[in-house]
Every structure is written in structure tokens, then in C-alpha cells.
Structure 1
Amino acid sequence: MKNINPLQGPRLGKVLDRAEQVVILLLWVALLERVIRSANPYAPLLLLSETAVLIFALIRRPTEAITRKPGDWLLAITATAAPLMVLPGHTLFPQIVGLGVMLVLLGNVGQAAAKLALRRSFGIAPANRGVKVSGPYALVRHPMYAGYLLVHIGNLMLFFSWLNVAIYAVGWSAQILRLQAEEKLLSQDDAYRAYCEKVRWRLIPGIF
């Protein structure tokens, strides 16, 4: 009789889905600890975006159509972990604090709108949890990442250090590759290919 590995096929997708949630929770707890210890009054702003990531990751709809490629998982974990590793140190440029706060708030509104459009279809690793075409997804194909970009630029204004610059540089290098991996997976869906014909830009209208 042929042995059947319980971690192959649909079962593996579910296990990976749950493992992803555990990783996000642990990273969020570590970020919360750093924010609590920080003397910077703007440190709690770091929790806005990342708490939304945690909540939507925990309530999302499970899927079997999730990538099994180790490279895709590495990109997803890197892109997710990087913002959770930012250090809320002293504000070095008080003259641009107002702009930084505005970008953080605007970016959080944008990524929250994208998450609400996805609802329980939110995920970290590339997966097909249904194709969304309404709301902010009618403007760019990855509005959530566009919101993250504004948030991270604002965070750098509030907590500038070369270490944080390096963290975000690594995170966004992985984010772009992760975005491309997501599109490769989703392009197997006829509905997504039709959506791409209507919405040309991935992240920034007129640029990318």
C-alpha cells in the first residue's frame, strides 16, 4: 500500500496558513514590547499598521491555493518581518514630524481600506483567496502595499536611523519580489488576468 504523507496537497496548504499566523503574532508581540519601552511619543504609531496586519491575518479565510515554494515564503516572511523590526528611537528631524505623522495616518487609511475590501481574503504568503476588483483595487492592483509604502516613509521621518533605513531597504526589496510572486500565482486565474487588463498599475499610478 502506498504511504500518504499527510503534509502533502491540501493539508500542507492549511498547515502553512496556520504557521504564517503564528509567526505574525510572535513578531507583533516583540514589536509591542519595543514600543512600550520606547520614550518616543510617536512610537505607538508603529502599531497602527502592524496591528491591522495581525487582526486580519487571524480572521482570514483559510485557503488551499497557497504557494509551496520556499523562496516565496522567504520573501513573504522577510517583507512582513522587516517593518516589525524597526526601532522607535529618537526623532532626529522635528521639523518634518508633521509630514511624517500625516504620511503614517494617510498610509494607514489606505491599507485599512484595502484590508476591508479583502476582509477575510487577506494573507501574507502568495495565495489565491479570491480576486478583488472594487474599492481601492480599482486604482492599483496592490493598494495595501501602496499604503504600507506611505507608512514606512512616514516612519523613517519619525524614527530615522541608518539601521531603520537598512531594515526598510531589505523589506521593500523582498516586498517587490513578493508582489511579483503573488501576480505569478494569481495569473493562473482567468479572473485575475482580466482584472490586470483593466487596472494597469501595480503599486504607484504612472510609475509601477
Structure 2
Amino acid sequence: MTKQAAPAQTRWLTPARLDRIEQVAIVVLWVFLVERVWTSANPLAPLLLIAETSVMLFVLIRRPTTAISVRPGDWMLAITATAGPLLIMPGPNPWPALAPLGIALVLFGNLFQVWAKLSLRRSFGIAPANRGIKISGPYRFVRHPMYAGYLVTHIGIFLLMPSLLNLAIYVVSWWSQTLRLLAEERLLGLDPAYQEFSKNTRWRMIPGVF
């Protein structure tokens, strides 16, 4: 029996091409974010750039991998979770009393997710992939400390720029982010090293909750 050739679409969607597409997309989204922050009248708008700039830089220098998901659903979740926070509107803050708390959460969340990125170094990406299992640094506390940092940051941003639109954006983004996290674990769960890591580090993102 002769072996059937893979469909043209499958042959085209190679891990290397998906990596490049992802890198171009994140740079374009970051440029639009810079433009919106630059033209915003909100003096706290630059806080939006802290986490997203680190995302762009680490995506550009990450280690290539062949163990990456090519499932369209996984990529849609990754795109939604990543693009969502870039759509936040830096409008006025009707809760000035909460500004110190919001700033503190943004700074802490960003420091935590940057710590996670520095632990990953070049093993970083957006779509579900296995670029090596990390167990040091913040990964001693939760299995996905980068997402935990994003969550704290986004709560802080919302306190500084609350609106129904921003609430809707974060709800959709975090619904996608949670499903994306589970998709990552399905892929990483094929690796015996990650199976052992999961036994030693119980919580995914929020200790005692999830």
C-alpha cells in the first residue's frame, strides 16, 4: 500500500512557518498598542506597554520547536488570549481612590510574569508548544506563573481603566486564556518530565483555587 501524501494545507502549516507567523503578528499588534498608548490622554496608559513589550521581545528571541500544536482551535484560543488585552481602551479613571492599588497590582503582576519569562529564557511562545520543561524560579509555586502574572496585571489595569468594554474584553480574553492553558497542558502532558512536574507542583495558576 502506498503512503498517502499529507494535504497541502497540512504541509504548509509547518511548525517553523507557524512560529514566523506568530512572531510577525505579535510585532504588528504591539505597534498598534504603542500608537494607542501614545495618543491616549490617560497618564497611566504606558502601564499597558510594560507586559506587552516583554511578550514581543521574548517571542522574537525564543527557541524554535517542532513540538507545537497545529490544531486551528488551539491557535484561535492563543490569538484571542493574546490580542484581547491589546484592545483595552485607556480611558479615564472614575475610581481614583483605587489607583494606588491598581498601580501596585500592575507592577507586581509584571514583575512576576517577567520573572517567569526570565526563567523560561528562550523557551517562550504563544501557541501551545513544548520548548522544554522548566521547574525553577516561580515554577516552584504554580505551573503557569506567567499567566498568573498576567491575571494580576489585568486586574490592576481594569481598576485603573474600568469600563464595560474593558470588562467584556478581559472576560473573553481570560475565557480563552484558561482554555489555552488547558490545551498547553494536553501537549505538555505527553512529556514524562512534565508529568513528574505536575505531581510536584499541584496548582496551575492560583494556589488553592486552580
CA RMSD of aligned residues (A): 1.7
Of 190, 193, 202, 1:191 maps to: 193
Q: Give, as a single letter, the amino acid of the residue that structure 2 aligns with 1:205.
A: P
* CA drift at 1:7: 6.7
**Moved runs in structure 1, 4+ residues, more than 4 A?**
1-11
From 150, 164, 180, give the equivalent of 2:182. Answer: 180
Q: Structure 1 residues 161 and 197, CA, compared in 2 at 3 Å: closer, same or farther? A: same
Aligned pairs, number: 208
Distance 1:9 1:191, change over 3 A: farther
CA contact (8 A) 1:80 1:124 kept: yes
- Distance (Å, rounded) in 2 between the aligned partners of 1:117 and 1:152: 21
Q: Offset at 1:92?
A: 1.2
TM-score, scaled relative to structure 1? 0.96
From 161, 166, 169, the equivalent of 2:168 is 166
**Contact 1:76–1:124 (CA under 8 A) maintained in structure 2:** yes
Question: In the alignment, residue 150 of structure 1 is paired with which amino acid?
Answer: V
Alignment correspondent of 1:207: 209
| 2:140 aligned residue | 138
Percent identity reads 58
Aligned equivalent of 1:62: 64
Which amino acid is the alignment partner of residue 37 of structure 2?
Answer: V
Q: Is the 8 A contact 2:13 2:70 kept in 1?
A: no
Map of 1:38 onto structure 2: 40
1:156 matches 2:153? no
Unpaired segments ≥5 residues, structure 2 = none
Deviation for aligned residue 1:67: 0.2
Contact preservation (8 Å) 1:114, 1:135: yes
Alpha-carbon contact 1:10-1:64 (below 8 Å) kept: no
Amino acid aligned to 1:30: F
